């Protein structure tokens, strides 16, 4: 029995020494960096991207025999919209004619602008529409500049009047009496100074109505008309645009539409 135990005791180390060790795991291979997934665009961002891509698409291949390139679609497709816009412009024009001005110089400036508005209109014959885009731009620039000429000096006068009013308010706050008659005279003066400013606002609104017609011309007119509108309206926008939110919106719409010919495929 003792011999068996001894035999086992001498065999155990041999078994232990003969056990094969598991190979060590190789170091992990470098994991390739994966670029993070681009964030999904919101509907608003997708729309903005679509508009940008559309406006920056390559120049189209044109067929000079297409009805659009012959100005045949301006009234055929855009006629109803043009008639509606012209009616809106006429209603505004009738309001403008009732505008009161005190000084002759302002009356003369305003009358010249009214004449421009009264004479404006997109021709109905395709052959006469060739210069329509340039005509639109010319009238819009003249109305913008005419509005500025009418309002620049009165705006400066209003600033001076505001200084006087603030001084009187300080005096009144300090306990000094300012007669109601003086306040009334200042208010009348403000109203008189503001008349040409109000007239200038009408001129800018009229420019916006004409730009609504430019939008229709850009929608249905030939590429060459679009390019004229794109360049001249782009210049107006770069120079500060129009001093009225509605008119500025009309400028932006017409300019955007003039930048592309067809929808993206």
Q: What is the DSSP letter of 131?
A: G
pTM: 0.80
71 close to 129: Cβ distance less than 8 angstroms: yes
| pLDDT on residue 222 | 97
Question: In the prediction, which pLDDT does 6 show?
Answer: 37
Contacts of 246 (CB under 8 A, 6+ apart): 205, 208
CB contact at 8 A, 196 and 156 = no
Tell me how far apart the alpha carbons of residues 265 and 250 are, in angstroms, rounded to a whole number.
27
DSSP string, 18-45: HPPPPPPPPPPPPPPP-PPPPPPPPHHH
Q: Cβ distance 57 to 49 under 8 Å?
A: no
Q: What is the pLDDT of residues 234-265, one digit of tens each?
A: 999 999 999 999 999 999 999 999 999 988 66
Tell me the Ramachandran region of residue 128: left when phi exceeds 0, alpha when psi lies from -120 to 50, beta otherwise.
alpha
Residue whose C-alpha is closest to residue 56's, from 252, 250, 230, 241: 230
Q: Which two tokens stand for residue 237?
A: 């926008």
Residue 176 backbone phi and psi in degrees, to 5:
-80, 145
Taken as a whole, the chain contains a residue count of: 265
Query: What is the rounded distance in angstroms from the CA atom of residue 202 to the CA atom of residue 143?
Result: 10
- Per-residue pLDDT tens over the stretch 81-135: 999 999 999 999 999 999 999 999 999 999 999 999 999 999 999 999 999 999 9
Decide if pLDDT at 27 tops 90.
Answer: no
Tokens of 74: 């301006």
pLDDT tens-digit readout, 37-89: 668 888 888 878 878 888 888 888 899 999 999 999 999 999 999 999 999 99
> Domain spans of the chain?
65-147+202-258
Q: Which of 73, 82, 68 is nearest to 213 (CA)?
A: 82
The answer, yes or no, to whether residue 4 has pLDDT greater than 50, is no
One-character DSSP codes across 93-118: HHHHHT----SHHHHHHHHHHHHHHH
Residue 43 has a pLDDT of 85
- Beta carbons of 210 and 134 less than 8 angstroms apart: no
Share of the chain above pLDDT 70, in %: 85
pLDDT of residue 39: 80
């Amino acid at each position: 029995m003792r011999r068996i135990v001894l035999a086992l005791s001498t065999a155990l180390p041999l078994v232990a020494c003969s056990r094969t060790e598991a190979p060590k795991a190789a170091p992990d291979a470098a994991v390739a960096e994966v670029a993070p997934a681009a964030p999904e665009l919101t509907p608003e961002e997708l729309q903005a991207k679509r508009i940008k891509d559309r406006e920056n698409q390559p120049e189209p291949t044109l067929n000079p025999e297409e009805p659009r390139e012959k100005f045949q679609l301006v009234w055929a497709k855009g006629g109803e919209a043009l008639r509606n816009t012209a009616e809106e412009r006429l209603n505004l024009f009738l309001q403008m004619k009732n505008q009161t001005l005190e000084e002759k110089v302002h009356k003369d400036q305003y009358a010249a602008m009214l004449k421009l508005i009264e004479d404006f209109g997109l021709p109905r014959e395709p052959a006469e529409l060739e210069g329509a885009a340039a005509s639109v731009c010319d009238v819009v620039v003249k109305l913008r500049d005419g509005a500025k000429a009418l309002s620049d000096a009165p705006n400066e006068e209003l600033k001076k009047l505001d200084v006087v009013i603030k001084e009187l308010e300080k005096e009144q706050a300090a306990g000094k009496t300012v007669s109601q008659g003086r306040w009334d005279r200042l208010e009348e003066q403000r109203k008189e100074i503001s008349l040409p400013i109000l007239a200038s606002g009408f001129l800018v609104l009229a420019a916006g109505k004409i730009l609504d017609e430019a939008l229709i011309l850009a929608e249905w007119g030939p590429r060459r008309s679009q390019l004229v509108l794109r360049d001249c309206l782009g210049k107006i926008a770069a120079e500060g645009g129009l001093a009225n939110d509605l008119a500025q919106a009309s400028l932006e719409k017409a300019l955007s539409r003039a930048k592309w010919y067809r929808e993206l495929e």
